[in-house]
Chain A
Amino acid sequence: MRAAVDRRAVVACGGLAVAGLALAFLGLSHGAAWSTPGEVLAGLAGNDGSVVIREWRLPRVAAALVFGAALGLAGAVFQNLTRNPLGSPDVIGLDAGAYTGALVAITVLGGGAAALAAGSVAGGLLAAAVVYTLSLDAGLSGLRLVVNGIAVNAMLTALNSWIVLRADLDVAMAATGWSVGSLNGADWAEVRLPFAVIGGFALLLVALSRAMHQSALGDELAVTSGVRLARLRLLLVVAGVGCTATVTAVAGPIVFVALAAPQIGRRLARAGGVPLLPAALTGAVLLLGADLVAQLLLAPVALPVGVVTTAIGGLYLIWLLITEVRRR
C-alpha cells in the first residue's frame, strides 16, 4: 500500500516538473516576437550573442518558478499548522502584513533592498502574531481563525492604501503597480538575493518536514514521538512567513497561489496530509502559468499576474466550498 502511494506521489511530482519545464520553455519563447525552440536553446547555451533570452526572459521565468514554489511551500506550512485548507497566508492577511512592512520600510525608513526584505518579514510575522492571538481561545484550527484573518486583511489593505496615498508621487506610482502583485520587469540583480533567502527557508522546511507531518497527526502523538512542538511551530511560522514575505518584498502580494497550490498538489499526489514537494511544484507551475496568461491574454498589455491568480484562486476557493457543502 505504502509503495503504491509513493509511486503515485513520484508520478505526480514528475508530471508537475515536466509541466513546469514545458511552461518555462514556452515562457522563454514568448516575447515581443516568438522565438523558435532552436533559438531558445541557443540563447540558453549563450552562443547566439543575444541578451534577450538569458538576460530578459530567463529572470522572469525563473522568478515565476521560484516565487510560485515559495508561495506553495508557505501555503502548505500554514495549512498544516492550522489544519485547515483555508488557513493559508494570503487569506489570513500575512501577505497584506508583509506588504505593510515593505511600505513602511520604503516610505518611513527610506531603506534599500535589505530594509525592504526585513520590513516585509517583520510585517508578516506581526500580522501572523495578531491573527493567532485573536483566535487563540478557539484553537488554531477552525473557520474562526480564517474570518479573523479576513478582518485583519481588510484593515491592513486599508492601511496600505492610506500609506500609498500619503507617500510621495514616485513611491506611490511604484507601489500601486506592485500592490496587485506583478513580475513585470524582474531582472537578475533584483531576484538574486530573494532566490538565496527562499533557498535557505526551503532547506529549513525540508529539515523540519518529518516533524511537521508527525505533528499533523495530533499534538499528543507528536509529543510522544519526540517532536518539540513549541519550537517546531515557531520555526515553521518563521519559515512560512519568510517565504511569503520575501516574495511580497519583490513582487508584491500575489494572492491565492498559497491557497490553491498545496491543495491541488495534495490531490494530485493523493497524499494524506499536505506534503511540501507537490505543493512547491504546483505553486511553481501555477504562478508561471498565470504569468503567461497575464502576458498573453491582453497582449501587448501585460496584466499584473496578481489579477490572474486572484481570478483563478477565487474560483478554486468557491469550488472548494461547493464540494464541502455537497459532502455533508
Chain B
Amino acid sequence: MTEGGRRAAVAALCLAVLAAVAGASLAVGARAVPPAEVWRALTDFAGSDDHLVVRDIRLPRTILGLCVGAALGVSGALIQAMTRNPLAEPGLLGVTAGAGFAVNVAAVLGVAASQVGTLLASVAGAALAALAVYAVGRTSPLRLVLAGVALSAVLMGVSLGLRLMLPDVFDRYRFWSVGALAGTERTPLLVPVLVIAAAVLAAVVVAGPLEALGLGEHVAHALGARVARTRAAVLLLVTVLAGAATAVVGPILFVGLIVPHLARRLAGGSVRWLVAHTAVLGAALLVAADVGARVLLPTGEVQVAIVTAFLGGPALIWAVRRHGARAL
C-alpha cells in the first residue's frame, strides 16, 4: 500500500471508531432507547420522551465530550512534542489544576458568573501554572512531572479550602470539581465548541514548524522556523485547550497522556498527523470513558475523571517503562 493510501485507511479507521463511540454515547444511558428510535430522534424529531432524552440530554453531552476529549488530547500531544518529554500532559503538569484553581478563585470573587468569564479565568490560570511548573521542573522529564504533581496538590488543597469556606460555591462546583460530563447537559455549547475547534485547527497549522523544532533549535532555524514564535504559539494553544476543557467539565487527568502515545504509532513521526489523530482518538476516548462512567454503577453514574484516571495510571507506568530506560 502506498504511504498516502495507508494514511487514508488509518484516518478512516479512526473516524469509524469515533462514529461508533458517539453512536454508543447516544444510545446508552439510564433510559433504554432502541437504536432505531435514536436514529429517528436525530433525523425525524417527534417530541416523544425518548426523542427528548436523546436530543436534549445525550446529544449535547456527547458533543461536549467530543470537544473536551479532542482538546485534552491535542494539548497533550503539543506539549509532548514541544518539550520532547513522553510524560508531559496538562493534567500531570498541573495545568488543569491551575485552571481549576483560577475558576474557583473567580467564583469566590464573583467574576465567574458568565461563561466567557469562567473561560478567561481558566485559561489565565492554566497559563500561570504551566509557566511555574516549567520554570521549576525543566531540567528533566520526571522532575517536570513531580513539580506538576506538587503544584496540583497545593492548588487542589487551597481550592477545596475555598469551596468549603463558601457553601454556595461548594454547591455549584461539587460535581465540576471531580471532573464530570454529567450535569453539563444544559451548558450553552456555542462558546466552548467554537474556541476548542479554532484551537485544534490552529494546532494543526502550528504542527509543521513544531516538527522542525523537534529536530533541534539550530536545524529548525536553518529550516526557516521561527523558534520563539512557535514555542509561544504552542504554549498559548496548550493553555487555551486545557483551560477551555477544564472550564466546562472540571479537571480531567491523563487523557492528554494516553492518547498521544496511541496516536504516535499511527502518525509515523509526523506531528501534523499526530495532532489530527490525537484530536479524533481523544474525542473517542473521552466519550467512551463517559459511556463507561454511565454503566459502571448500578445506580447513578461515576465521574468520567475517575474512569480516565483508572485508564491513565497503567499508561503512565507503561510510558515510564518504555522511555524510562534511556531518557530518564
**In the docked arrangement, what's the CA distance between A31 and B283, Å?**
52
Residue numbers in B under 8 Å from A328 (CB-CB) = 139
**Given A143, A161, A322, which contacts B302 in the complex, CB threshold below 8 Å?**
A161
A154 touches B297 (CB 8 A): no
Q: Which residues of A contact B297 (CB under 8 A)?
A: 165-166
Decide if A310 touches B154 in the complex (CB within 8 Å).
yes
Chain A residues 116 to 169 lying within 8 A of chain B, measured CB to CB, are 134, 138, 143-144, 146-148, 150-152, 154-155, 157-159, 161-162, 165-166
Minimum CB distance partner of A316 in chain B: B150
Stretch at the interface among B13-21, B119-127, B305-313: B305-313
Are A310 and B157 within 8 A (Cβ)?
yes
B4 to chain A, nearest CB (A): 38
CA distance A322 to B254 in the complex (A): 25
- Of all chain B residues, which has the CB nearest A86? B146
Give CA–CA (A161, B150) in the complex, Å. Answer: 21
Q: Within A299-328, which residues are at the interface with B (CB < 8 Å)?
A: 301, 303, 306-308, 310-311, 313-315, 317-318, 321-322, 324-325, 328
Q: Is A255 an interface residue (CB 8 A)?
A: yes
Residues in B whose Cβ lies below 8 Å from that of A322: 136
A99 nearest CB across to chain B (Å): 15
Mark out the residues of chain B between 182 and 233 whose CB falls within 8 Å of any chain A CB in the assembled complex.
Answer: none
B149 neighbours in A (Cβ, 8 Å) = 91, 150, 317
B146 with A143: CB separation less than 8 A: yes
Chain A, residue nearest B158 (CB):
A311
Q: Determine if A256 is an interface residue (Cβ-Cβ < 8 Å).
A: yes
Q: Does A258 contact B (CB under 8 A)?
A: no
Number of interface residues of A (CB under 8 A): 43
The reply to whether the CB of B110 lies closer than 8 angstroms to some CB of chain A is no
Distance, CA A307 to CA B153, complexed state (A): 9
Q: Give the residues in chain A near B328, CB-CB below 8 Å.
A: 143-144
- Pair B154/A155 contact, Cβ less than 8 Å: no
Closest chain B CB from A254 CB (angstroms): 12
Most chain A CB within a 10 A radius of its CB, from B136, B150, B152, B158: B150
Binds A, one of B32-40, B56-64, B159-167: B159-167
Which residues of B have CB within 8 Å of A307? 157, 160-161, 164
Q: Are A155 and B302 CB-contacts (below 8 A) given A307-B160, A321-B150? A: no
List residues of chain B with CB within 8 A of the CB of A147: 87, 142, 145-146, 316, 320
| Complex interface: chain B residues within 8 A of A154 (CB) | 253-254, 309, 312-313, 316
Interchain CB contact under 8 A, B147 and A315: no
A298 at the interface (CB under 8 A from B): yes
On whether the beta carbons of B145 and A180 are closer than 8 Å, the reply is no
B131 at the interface (CB under 8 A from A): no
Do the beta carbons of B150 and A318 come within 8 Å of each other? yes
In the bound complex, do residue A325 and residue B139 qualify as a contact, i.e. CB atoms below 8 Å apart?
yes
Chain A residue contacts of B156, Cβ below 8 A: 310
Map CB proximity to A onto B274-313 as digits: 1 under 8 Å, 0 otherwise.
0000000000000000000000111010110111011011
Which chain B residues lie closer than 8 Å to A301 at the CB level?
Answer: 164-165
CB distance from B251 to the nearest CB of A (A): 12
B151 interfacial by beta-carbon distance below 8 Å: yes
* Shortest CB distance A290–B (Å): 11
Asked whether A298 and B303 contact (CB < 8 A) given A151-B316, A328-B139, the answer is no
How far, in angstroms, from A315 to B164 measured CA to CA in the complex?
A: 21
B324–A144 contact, CB under 8 A? Answer: yes
Chain B nearest Cβ from A263, distance in angstroms: 14
Does B264 belong to the interface (CB within 8 Å)?
Answer: no
Q: From residue B103, how far is it (CB to closest CB) to chain A in Å?
A: 18
Separation of A155 and B254 alpha carbons in the complex (Å): 11
Q: List 6 A-B contacts (CB under 8 A).
A: A86-B146, A147-B320, A157-B309, A159-B310, A166-B298, A322-B136
Ordered nearest first, which 8 A-B pairs have the shortest CB separation? Answer: A155-B313, A314-B154, A310-B157, A158-B309, A317-B150, A314-B153, A151-B316, A143-B142
Q: Which residues of A contact B (CB under 8 A)?
A: 86, 91, 134, 138, 143-144, 146-148, 150-152, 154-155, 157-159, 161-162, 165-166, 180, 255-256, 297-298, 301, 303, 306-308, 310-311, 313-315, 317-318, 321-322, 324-325, 328
Known: A151-B313, A158-B310. 5 other contacts (CB 8 A): A151-B316, A158-B306, A158-B313, A256-B153, A307-B160
